[in-house]
Every structure is written in C-alpha cells, then in structure tokens.
Structure 1
Amino acid sequence: MSTLVVPDAVPSVFEDCEQLRKAFAGWGTNEGLIISILGHRNAEQRKLIRQTYAEAYGEDLLKELDRELTNDFERVVLLWALDPADRDAFLANEATKKSTSRYQVLMEIACTRSSNHLLHAKQAYHARFKRSLEEDVACHITGDFSKLLFPLVSSYRYEGDEVNMTLAKSEAKILYQKISEKAYSSEDLIRVLATRSRAQINATLNQYKNEFGNDINKDLKTDPNDEFLALMRTTVKCLTRPEKHFEKVLRLAINRRGTDEGALTRVVTTRAEVDLKIIADEYQRRNSVPLDRAIGKDTTGDYEKMLLALAGRAHA
C-alpha cells in the first residue's frame, strides 16, 4: 500500500518542468518547489518529467538536481527521481562496494521485490554499469555470504499462490536436518530460500514450526553475534514478513543516537509506492508512535519535508 499522495488534478508535465526550471533559477534553489512537485508524483509521472525536461531544456534533470542540492536532501531527491528499477541498480552497485550493511541491502533487493522488478533492476544494472549484478556479487562478496547472495540475486521466483504440500513437508525436514547439523550454508538449505515461491516458503516454514516446535528464525539464532546467521534470519523475514524487516530497519535508523540517514532514505524511497503504509502501521504497533512523527522528530529542514511528503503527509 502506497503512502504517496498525488493530487487529483496534476499539472501538465510541461508545467512541472517549467516550475522545476524556475526552482533552479536565480541565486538560491527553491527547495520547497522541488518537494511540492517531485514529492507528489508517481513513478510514471516522474519518468515523463525527466524525459520532457531533457527534451525541453537539453539538460539531464538528475544532473541539475545533483548540482543544485546537497547532503541528505540531495540523496533522497535523487533516489526518488530515479526509475524504481534504476534506483535498485544504483543501490545494489553501491552495496557491492561498501563494507557496512551491504549484505542486507543486496538481500532486500533480491527478496522483497517481485521477480519482474528484480529482472528489470538487473537489466538496469547492465545498462548503467556494463556488468551484471551477479558478476559483481561473485567478484566482491566471498565465502558463505556469496553462497547465499549469489543465488538470491540470480532468482526468478514463481509469484502465484500454488503450494505443493508434499514438497513443503519434505523440505521442512531438510531445513531442520541442516540447521540441526549447523550446516547453515548447505546448498539444500540455500536452494529452498533462493528458488521457491513466497507461498511455497511460507507453507514449508509453517510445516517446520508445526513439526519441530520452533519458528525457523529461533533455530537460526544459536549464535546472536554470527553475521551470516543474522543475514539468514533477515532473508527469511524479507521473504515472509517484509514489513517486519523494514520496521526494524526504520526503528534502528531513527531510535539510536544519531540518525542512520542512509537506511531511513533507502526504506522511504524504495517502499513509498509499494507498502510503506503497511510498514508504518507495523511501526506504530511496535513503537506506539506514528512513523511520520518519529521521522519529524529525528530529521530537519528540507530533508525532513521530503521524507514526510513520501511518507504521506499531503501538506509536506
């Protein structure tokens, strides 16, 4: 469920481009004007704005924004202005080069997007970086992390609701056996998580709990400090309850000393047109504070206003 508020009567794309051009003119940038336009346009409308702007002024709107804006506000606007598949390609490429939380970003893109979206993101990656995402994951990530992430980013899952209960029972046993043996990076365990449809994985994990007594993530918590097990648990959560994963990312980004703007920006820009409403409901249930109020308390200025616009505040 999207939180994006698009006005009933959207101005013509030419008018939007003209207004954006005005926002860049003169001595100072009119950030409020940028927010009022880009913060209230859906992906299709933003794409049309980028195309029309290039045709009308011979300038790349993204480069103009990059030139005019700074810091966290610049990042949130630039990420938002990108086509969703292109945005994920950019974030994935950034993640292959970074050491901090990069595994989680790649896993999010692999496990919380539809099969078609992941395919389009990989095509955008090709076009932008002249390499494949799989190639960069194989090149930059090693060991057990590569064993898990490579098949996840290579996946094209069935999206339907069909479930094979015989398979769910047999694969629940395989998962239990491998986890009991502490063979966490075994091919069989990873194959189930990386290839089965979400409906099939849910059936398998329900079977696992019914037959062996524990939620699988409890059994994957034998060592809370093991980074690979943490990634396995996050993979399971993203495949089964993505709103719980994103709620936790937001909670950690907002509720500690010093905001993690990178994580906050990533979740808001990638989920605003998908399920940010569901994530916000989960956030309020878990923290007894509305998400927009938490964001407003933790951020300032134009960055705050843009985030709040994407989080659904119509007047932001």
Structure 2
Amino acid sequence: MSKARTALCAIALAASAGFSAVPALANDYPAMSLRMAHPLPQSWPGVEWDLWWAEQVEERSGRKIDIEIFWSGQLGGLLEIKNLVSSGAVDIGVFAQAVHASEMPLTSIAAGLLNRVSADPATAQELARATYAAGPVKAELEGLNLMPLKWTVTSPYRFTCNKPIETMADLEGMRIRAVGGAYVPIWMEAYGSVPTRVQAPEIREGLQRGTLDCNFGPIEWVPFFDLQEVAPYLSDINTGAFTTFQLYVPHDTFMGWPQEVRDLMTEVAAEAMQKDLEALNGVEAKAMETFRAAGGQVVELADMEAFVAKSPDMIQVWVDSMTEQGLRADIEPLIPLQRKAAESFAR
C-alpha cells in the first residue's frame, strides 16, 4: 500500500474513532433526506468528487440515504455556508475554510495557507489529515459545531501571467491574484509583487484588461476560466499545493447519526479523496495540453536558487502571528506537522 493510500485510509479511522469497521447491510441504514449546500458550479474542477461521495453514500445505503446537492450557492454563498453548517441550518456544506481563518485559526492551517510548505498534492492531503486529527484542532472544530469529512486537493499553485516571469526581478510590481487569507499576500510582497483581491469570475477580465498580471492557482483552472489566451505564460515556480474546499457536517448532527451512517460517510470520503488524488496527474496533463495547444508557454525561472533563498519562512511567520494572538500553546502540536510537510520541497 502506498504512503498516500495509507494516509487516506487513516482519514476514516481518525474521523470515526471508536466506530465499528464492519460494513452495514443496506437494510440497516435509516431513511434520511439530507441537503448539501455547495458554493461552486458543478463544472468547477475537482467538485466531481463531492458528487461522487454523495452518490456513493446513496447507493451503498440502498438508497435509504438521499443527498440533494444545491450547486452554485443556491442555499448560501461562499462566506455563508460555514455558518449554515455550524448552526445546523443545512445538513452538509462545502466551503473554503481558508477564508474563515480569523474564526477558525487552528483549523484553517489545514487548508495549506502557507506558501512553499506542501510541494505536491499528496503532501497537502496528508498535512490536512494530520492537522484535523490534532487535539487542539478537534477541540476548535467541536466548539464551532463542525466536522470535516473530506477535502479537495489541486495540483501545485503557479503563476499564469500575461507576461513572462523569467527572473525573480520580474515579480516586482506584478499584480497577482491573492487568495487564501492573510499569509499569501505576505509571501508575495517579499518579492515586491502586489497582491490583488479579485473574485474568481473576474480573473479573465482582469488579465485581459491588464488590471491583473497573473492568476495564482493550479493549471487545471486555466481551461476552466479560459485563461490560455489572455495569460499565455505559465511560470515553473512551485508555490505549493493546497487543499481548497472542505466538506463539513454539523458536529452534533454527525454524532447523533447511527454508527453505520458515520462509518459509511467517512469511509466513502476516504475513497473519494484517494480517487481525487489519483486523478490529478491526468487532470494536470490535460490542462497543460489545452494550454500549450493555445500557444501557451512554460517559462523557467533563470534564478530559481535565489528565488528559493529569498522565500520567507512562512511557517515561522505563522508561528509568530499565532503567538501574538496568544495561541502558541495551541499550535505546538501543529508546528512539527508543518515542518514535516515542508521537507517535501527538499525531495
């Protein structure tokens, strides 16, 4: 069994500790009708595994469990779904916990807020799993009435720009879309870039008009947003892989479900995340093919060693920030997890 597979199989064990591992028969499941709030359209890269999870839970329960997905923010927007789940207003919700870093400071670090920590999706996936399993994070989540079941990973975030980044100096003054909370802008500013808040639907227009020089995201977003013509230069700088959107249920609701339901949902979640991870290579290759076919170029950074040397120690930046907030004792178990993940950049 691969390291990635072992890690993902542990997700179900961590999330359902104390539950039976014996599969239930379909006729053992209670009839349940659940609503899932999803902020993204069904065509968004990676969300097919949220759909796969819901469909598999339905199928394996003998259709006793019905999950209706409300796509594109029908039940609530990106910033609203967290509170809808926490309050129990919806049974299941998908949101980006990174945008709620101030409300969930310990949990949010599981989304990979720090640049150049997880060099690849498998490392990002394992870092998230280990973070959710840490005692202080579990306590924070329970206090927020939230239980994470699965999360989505992407290929490494890179810069897709309307002009080439050939040397580190080219980053100076470039307006780059900044996402993921407070730490990404700090990292960008270290190179003289201008972090720019741009909503996803406005990325292409910003690049086309020149109010934005680069998108910051994985290559699979290029064909989705049709960026290949307005941003034909892809930098080879690996800024790190991140988990993006997380699927949550209310903690008290989850604990009130029968054991067989909890087991089913966590086991299918582990499988969905493994499939997501295994599919990424193909997704990345297909997106790159589309990018190159439109005339896109991959630009190698000539002074990569200098770029790496200049990169701030974002883990220490995070530690200092958490210490200032009086959370140093809470993050102690999390610091080694971040340091271990950062070793992936040395491999």
Instruction: Check whether TM > 0.5.
Output: no
More helix by share: 1
More contact order relative to length (CA 8 Å, sep ≥ 6): 2
Name the structure with the higher strand share.
Answer: 2
